Amino acid sequence: MSQWTCIVLISLLSSFSSLGRAMFNRTALIPHPNPEEVAQEVQRRVNASVSRRQTLQLTQDDQSNCLTGNPIDDCWKCDPDWSNNRQGLADCAIGFGQYAMGGKNGEYYVVTDSSDNDAVTPKPGTLRYAVIQPEPLWIVFPTNMHIKLSQELIFNSYKTLDGRGANVHITGGGCVTLQYISNIIIHNIHIHHCVQSGEANVRSSPTHFGWRTESDGDGISIFGSKDIWIDHCSLSHCKDGLIDAVMGSTGITISNNFFSHHNEVMLLGHSDEYKPDSGMQVTIAFNHFGEKLVQRMPRCRRGYIHVVNNDFTQWEMYAIGGSGSPTINSQGNRYTAPFDHNAKEVTKRVETGEGEWRDWNWRSEGDIMVNGAFFVASGQGVEVKYEKAYSVEPKSAVLIDHLVMHAGVLGVGGRDNNLGKWGTGPNGGEAGLGTDDDYTDDYSGTGRNNMNRYDAALSSIFIPMTCLLISFTLPLTSLL
């Protein structure tokens, strides 16, 4: 009986490979049991950093270069020897992605080759070779690089991309894919001009490659993954979303990034009906949503989304939208509405009547509304503080300029703050990538075809896991 059951189940999983893998991975995607506690801790850390900065201003004539009130930046930039202690960055995340270890305690991997000519047999020294390795790696760049991807860059778990000290651009086919993995840090990278790719074999580990159907063209695609931190990146002009997180992904922090020139910026949640996304927990902090953005900053389905101390300087339709009854906790943000009188509202309930969304828990606490912007709150007891979305009083909104002043890529090729180089390369670490349009983030926005697609192959590891699970559960069912 168990042998036949195993054969049947293997056949089913082979037909619906990604769904099967998601089912097995679901046990690992456990959300935090008290998301309000995480939101409270974020605000406590912000308020503590703001208080330190204000105290410093009162006691010193010269303001410190490191105490900005931004707890993430203050954590590592106040270390004068940070460039020799790069892995200390892994201790600086806040919010739901704070447990992302990246490649902490792993070896340093130096990317010496910017080519990406073979997605099945990548050369040692390339970024693709680094990200598929099974062991933790802290990946660094000794010089400026433009990496034009031939196919999706599929990561293995426990990796950090640390672009500090170099001008690193990732463009091309599919861009970054985080699928059924955990513990990823992406820091100080330009990601833009990402296009659809696929209908090709792509390697995801040293022992496995598989056929990939056509990708969406996301800048960063998070699919069934957890413990992810994306910090100080600049993202623009991708075919699909700049950052999408779907299929039960959780434990995510998106911080200090600069978003621009795009239509549908960020999607959180696979669909209204996909119940595992109810456990999605995302912190969106200290980002600058800049010029030529249209909507989805983010667009949420289910889950708990904490939007704290961001600067929304432009949208054309709306800033924050949702469906499927997500919890949205907006604290200490600055929302600057466009001049269009029909687009002043920050929020949008997507294709949902008021009779349904009036019970959704959407709160605005300490936000600053500019140029007629307004936030439509909802939920039980809307006229008073609603404890399910309320954390602590955000005192930091008045310092929003300081909190987001360094959003996006830092250092060489970034917006400000020159940083220490990892090493010396052909360009000496100096700006000088040339005038090719692919080295800039300034593109006009495009629409996107929002279709999540599934992997075409099932990793061999899940078949023995299936049989093992069946052999364990069948004796139990016989007792029922």
| HEC letters along the chain | CHHHHHHHHHHHHHHCHHHHHHHHHHHHCCCCCCHHHHHHHHHHHHHHHHHHHHHHHHHCCCCCCCCCCCHHHHHHHCCCCHHHCHHHHHHCCCHHHCCCCCCCCCEEEECCECCCCCCCCCCCCEHHHHHCCCCCEEEECCCCEEEEECCCEECCCCEEEECCCCCEEEEEECCEEEECCEEEEEECCEEEEEECCCCEEEEEECCEEEEECCCCCCCEEEECCEEEEEECCEEECCCCCCEEEECCCEEEEEECCEEECEEECEEECCCCCCHHHHHCEEEEECCEECCCEEECCCEEECCEEEEECCEECCCCCCCEEEECCCEEEEECCEEECCCCHHHCECEEECCCCHHHHCCCCEEEECCEEECCCECCCECCCCCCCCCCCCCCCCCCHHHHHHHHCCCCCCCCCCCCCCCCCCCCCCCCCCCCCCCCHHHCCCCCCCCCCCCCCCCCCCCCCHHHHHHHHHHHHHHHHHCC
Cα dist from 117 to 127, 169, 243, whole Å: 11, 16, 25
User: Is it the case that residue 159 has pLDDT exceeding 80?
Assistant: yes
Q: How confident is the model at residue 65 (pLDDT cuts 50, 70, 90)?
A: low
Q: Cα(477)–Cα(88) distance, rounded to whole angstroms?
A: 48
Going by pLDDT thresholds of 50, 70 and 90, the confidence category of residue 33 is confident
pTM of this prediction? 0.81
Residue 104 has pLDDT above 70, yes or no: yes
Q: Which candidate in 45, 203, 212, 296 is catalytic?
A: 296
User: What average pLDDT does range 31-55 have in this prediction?
Assistant: 84
Output the pLDDT for position 43. Answer: 83
Length of the chain equals: 480
pLDDT band at residue 10, thresholds of 50, 70 and 90? very low
User: Is the pLDDT assigned to residue 480 strictly greater than 90?
Assistant: no
Residue among 150, 157, 102 at smallest CA distance from 123: 150
Question: Where does the pLDDT of residue 441 fall: very low under 50, low under 70, confident under 90, or very high at 90 and above?
Answer: very low
Q: Which residue has the tokens 């970024």?
A: 127
| Angle subtended by helix axes 17-25 and 2-15, to nearest 10 | 110
* Model pLDDT for residues 295-304, shown as the tens digit of each residue: 999 999 999 9
Q: Quick one: pLDDT at residue 471?
A: 39
Residues 391 and 19: their CA atoms lie apart, in Å, by: 36
What is the predicted pLDDT for the residue at 399?
Answer: 83
Contact in structure between 367 and 345 (CB atoms under 8 Å): no
Position 479: which residue type?
L
pLDDT in tens, 278-294: 999 999 999 999 999 99
Residue 382's pLDDT is 57
d(CA 136, CA 103): 4
Q: What is the pLDDT of residue 26?
A: 39
Which candidate, 199, 155, 196, 162, places its Cα nearest to that of 179?
155
Cα 265 off chain centre by: 12
7 — pLDDT class (breaks 50, 70, 90): very low
pLDDT of residue 30: 85
d(CA 344, CA 371): 8
Which of 150-164, 181-195, 209-223, 392-406 comes out lowest in average pLDDT?
A: 392-406
Determine which of 11-20, 50-59, 281-290 has the lowest per-residue pLDDT on average. Answer: 11-20
Respond yes or no: is residue 299 known to be catalytic: no
> Could you confirm whether domain 35-54+67-271+280-404 is CATH 2.160.20.10?
yes
Residue 193: predicted pLDDT: 95
Most confident of 101-110, 373-382, 411-420, 464-473: 101-110
Check residue 64 and give its pLDDT: 57
What's the chain's average pLDDT? Answer: 80
How far apart (Å, rounded) are the C-alpha atoms in residues 449 and 389? 32
Q: What are phi and psi for residue 12, nearest 5 degrees? A: -65, -45
Confidence category of residue 474, pLDDT binned at 50, 70, 90: very low
Distances (CA, A) of 200 to 176, 220, 311: 16, 19, 40
Residue pLDDT, tens place only, 136-145 = 999 999 999 9
Site of tokens 């007891």: 381
Omega before 31 cis (within 30°)?
no
Cα separation, 234 vs 231, whole angstroms: 9
